[in-house]
Structures are given as C-alpha cells and as structure tokens.
Chain A
Amino acid sequence: MSDNPILVIGGGPAGLAAAKGIADLGRKAVLVEKEEYLGGTPIKEKYAALTPDFRDAEEAMGEMIKAVTDDGNVEVITNSTVTSVEGSAGNMKVSVQNGGSGKTIDVSSVIVSTGFDHFDPGEETQVYGYYEYDDVITLTDAEKMLKEHKFVKPSSGEAPESVCFIQCVGSRDRQIGNQWCSKVCCGIASKDAMEIKQILPDAKVFVFYIDLRAYGCWEDDLYWKAQEEYKVNYIKGIVTEITKQGDKLIVKGEDTTMGRPMEIPMDVVVLSTGMEPSEGTKEMAGVFNLPLESHGYIGTIGGPLNTVETSVPGVFVAGASTGPADLEDSVSMGGNAAMKACAFAMKN
C-alpha cells in the first residue's frame, strides 16, 4: 500500500470533485492547476449560470472550490503544469513546473481532469464571420454578457431586437473533423435564450438546430420551457452562411420542416461552439503515454461500464478530457475516479 498522495491534474468541476473525494476517503491529494485560480472552464470563461439549474456559476463553483481549499488533506498548487513522469504504478515521480521553478512529487496514482477547449469558430467555419462581424459571438461571449446581467449588440451597445443561436458549430461536422455531438450546447443555448428573454422580453430569439439534443430532463426543464414559456423559436435547419446588410446580419439557410429557404435579418448571432480536447488534455496524454480514442479524447478501457480507467495502470481520467461531458458527467466521473484511484493506492 502506497502512502504517497494522489495527484489530480486540473481544477475544474471533475478535478475538484475528485480531490474532495480523495480527501473524504482519508487520503492526501495534490491538485495541480495551470491557471492561478481553481474552478476550471465555468470560472475561466465567466459562465453566468450553470446548466440546467440556473445557479449562479461563480457561487456554485465557489462552494466546490472552498470545500477543497479548506480541506487539510488537499494541497493545491496553482499556476503549474505537470511536465513529466518517471517510475510506474504505485510509485510515480511527477515533475511539476511553476514558471521557472520546478519540483518532483512522489504520487501513488493520478487522475487527469484537464477538460476541453471551446471550438474556435473563426478557425475553420469562416462562413459565419466570427472574426469579421462584431455581432457574431459565441456561447461563451454570451455568457460573459449575461454574467453582467446585460445582453447587447457588441457593435453598438444597443439592445438587439432579434437574436439567434446556431447549434453544432464545430461539432457533428466531417468537413472539420469533429464528428461528435458536444452534448451540452442545446441545453446551454436554451438556457441562454431564456436568460436573454428575461432581460429583453420583446426580443425575437431563434435557435437553429440539426437535431435538438436536450437529453434526459433537459427536455422539458430547458427546451420545452424555453419554447412554451419564453416563446423561443426553434427552427430545424442549420444556417449556411451569414452576410451583412446595413446594421443587420442576414442568416441564410433552410426552414426544413416548412420546406422553404429562409433569409432572416438578425441583430446578434450566437454560435453554439462545441467541445474539443483541451491543450492540457493533449499534453497530459503525451506525458502519461495515454492512448487516445478515435475522436482525440483520452481513451478509457471499460467501454460504457468503466468510464475512468485508462490502459496505463494507476492513471485515471475524469470529465471532458474523455469526451464531451456535462457537469453531471464531470463531477460523477470525478467521484468515481477518486474511489478507483484510492483503491489502486491501497493495493499497490
């Protein structure tokens, strides 16, 4: 049995849940975070409210962070990255780099929870003009405004009369090589659409989608609610391109269920950008020699029945480093990984 601490890499929802789980099981954890703060993407990208429960993101994540930082069993190292590993199962020597200085930590097992990056919509889908038009923004840009309890046309600072969301930007697209569904964007767009209608009740809000994937209870908690109570307009059909006419953006596509082409003027277009494996996830896959699954996320070995174990003994994964994940997935996997990493430490 190894008494060395368990290393958790990445301090987002999955990593925080994992570190707290390890500490609650009575073992030491070391949580290494690249940024100078904990909380992961919800904090970094300034999310307004969490999906699906509309809880204030900063407040909710703050509770998770405090539970970890207040726990004497967890050592938090921020502004740091893991650069290399030596040794094997049960006794790994991990190099942690903090700016110019570095140190080596002996650990018994590892949990990689390095998450995802949002797809950069200017990178390959130029048809949406993300870098050309000020009023074409992403879900995270929208979240930043909503966090300030406002929603305006970035070009003028005025309240928009019409807003649309375009789903599956950077997802489900063989052309750009991302064939997966990013799982959360339909729910998040629905949530954001409701928040926009709360601020601007008279605005027309549209969601253009390929398939509306508000799975589980998100169906009526988010999708039906947005449609029935907030009169958000859901139109099956993806926007082909965006052009500019005067002050307005023109979205062009097909209203498929009505069987007619459409060209609608919009004040603000929100691109529902999907998930990609983060830089950190790719780097950690390299450092720990973890095979990737076919989409480029870190591969696990148990199929649907073991979502956290990798083919490298003693190295576990949690959250969106394994594929698109919502918060429920991420914290559940964090807890599962904590349990399995502790069990591994006890046996080795």
Chain B
Amino acid sequence: MARSIYRDRKYKDVPYEVKLDLFNQVKQDIRWKDFMKGCFECGVCVGACPTARFCDFSPRVITQTMSREDVDTFYELMNDMIWDCSQCFSSTRCPRKNSPGGIVTIMREVAVKNGLESAKDALKTYSRIIYKVMSTGTQVAPDMLQPDFFPDWGPNVKVVAENLDVWRRAIPPDTLHTTELAWDVSDKTKFQLYMIFKLTGNLELIEQVDEGIYDILGETIEELMDEYGVEADEVENILEEN
C-alpha cells in the first residue's frame, strides 16, 4: 500500500511518524466528524467535480484515502492533489454525507500550518493577492492585472490588459466600478485588518508559507505606525480611541 499513486513522486518522503502526526492534526479538526463519515467509492463526487474534468484530481480518492486511514497515500495527497481542488463544494452531494471539499479545506489548512513545501508552491502564484487582501481587505482590481506585475500568469494577462474594457464588457454585471476604490482604504481599516490577522494567528500562518509577504505586511504597518507615532502594542489603543 505504500506504493505511490503518482508515477513521478515530486516531493521528499518523510518518516511515517511525521505523516501520522499530520494525519492526526486533520482528524482532530472540529469539522472532521461532519465532513468524513465513510466512503463506498461510488464516484458521484468525481462526476460532479469540475476540476476532475480537466486534471488528474479526484475527490473520491481523497475521501476514500481518508476513510481508509491510509496515512502514506494521505501524505501523497497533501503534497499534490489537494491543491487542485477548486473548493466549489459540488461534491457535497455525497450519499454518505461526506464533504470531500471540506476534507480538502482541512487538509490544506494543516499543510499551511505545518509549512509544507506543497503549500508554499501552491500559494506562490497568489502572493500578490494574499498581500492585497491582507493589507487592504480588498481583492486585486481588474486593471491591476498588468503583464509587468503578473508575468507568471501567462500570455493572456497581456492580451486582456491591452483591451480590458472590451473583455470586461463580455461579463454581464459591472466589474470595473471598483478599480479606483481598490487602494482607497482608510488607515483605521488597515490597522483593524492588521490586528485581526495578528490576533487570529493568520500572520503567523503567512510567515510559515511566504516570509516575503509577511515582511512586507510588517513594513507596511510599521510605516503607518511611524506616521501616527505609535508603537506596535499601542495599535489596539488607537482602534479603541477611534
């Protein structure tokens, strides 16, 4: 059973105990009992899964592996398959009331918390978005997708950026109305966001997987603190005063 389901295993193997520890972290999640009942491998989730149509991803394999408590295969999935899920939760139609998408959520969180290389790789492309969301609370606006800043997103970024207005007209609802507001966030909001991410442990999580973003987020808030002439431990007071 230890035999890999991947022909070209891309990650480094670790001792069984390390895998078991990660596995137990997943099982100890408060949502686990609601998401994982037992799998009879019927495949209804794969039929419902949009990702499975386009790549080698199977919510069934994830669910049956966890149902079987197959720790070796679990570790393989942690290093590969879980990052292909689009988290649409179509797989929730499971007749056993499992939630393959939910299981993936927990597995990803454990991968991030433990700073797995696969988590770092998977999140690399999203570093600018993570930074944007965590520093301003708003997403990347369509006009920010410029080829200079997103060279790793492929040639379509350039194609779309050059005629953004035309492309965006193909989408029925308004999508360009927030471009100017995207950076326009009050200082109070920035402080609040920082405190939320700090107090909920999200900053620590980011430090695990992307030290670069962690540093930039710290620098940004420090600049702001300088502007207000406050120290880090005074931020809470500022929020209360305002």
| Residues in A lying within 8 Å of B, measured CB to CB | 212, 223-224, 227-228, 231, 233-236, 255, 257-262, 264
Contact = CB atoms under 8 A, between A and B. Distances in A.
A187 to B, nearest CB: 15
Nearest to B65: A258
Contacts of B41: 236, 257
Nearest to A214: B40
A234 B40 CA distance: 8
Interface residues of B, number: 17
B37 A228 contact: yes
B52 to A, nearest CB: 14
B38 A233 contact: no
A258 B38 contact: no
Given A212-B40, A224-B38, A231-B69, A257 B1 contact: no
B96 A224 contact: yes
B61 interface: yes
A250 to B, nearest CB: 12
A271 B64 CA distance: 24
A229 B209 CA distance: 36
Contacts of A260: 3, 5
Interface string B1-25: 1010100000000000000000000
A260 B39 CA distance: 18
Instruction: Choose among B5, B40, B69 the residue with the greatest number of A CB atoms under 10 Å from its CB.
Output: B40
B108 interface: no
A227 B5 contact: no
Given A260-B3, A260-B5, A227 B67 contact: yes
B69 A233 contact: yes
25 contacts: A224-B37, A224-B38, A224-B96, A227-B38, A227-B39, A227-B40, A227-B67, A228-B37, A228-B38, A231-B69, A233-B68, A233-B69, A233-B70, A234-B40, A234-B68, A236-B41, A255-B1, A257-B41, A257-B60, A258-B5, A258-B61, A258-B64, A260-B3, A262-B1, A262-B3
A267 to B, nearest CB: 15
B38 A264 contact: no
B62 to A, nearest CB: 12
B100 to A, nearest CB: 14
A237 to B, nearest CB: 11
A194 B224 CA distance: 62
Nearest to A262: B1
Contacts of A224: 37-38, 96
Nearest to A224: B38
A261 B40 CA distance: 19
Interface string B150-189: 0000000000000000000000000000000000000000
Contacts of B73: 258
Contacts of B96: 224
Instruction: Choose among A212, A233, A257 the residue with the greatest number of B CB atoms under 10 Å from its CB.
Output: A257
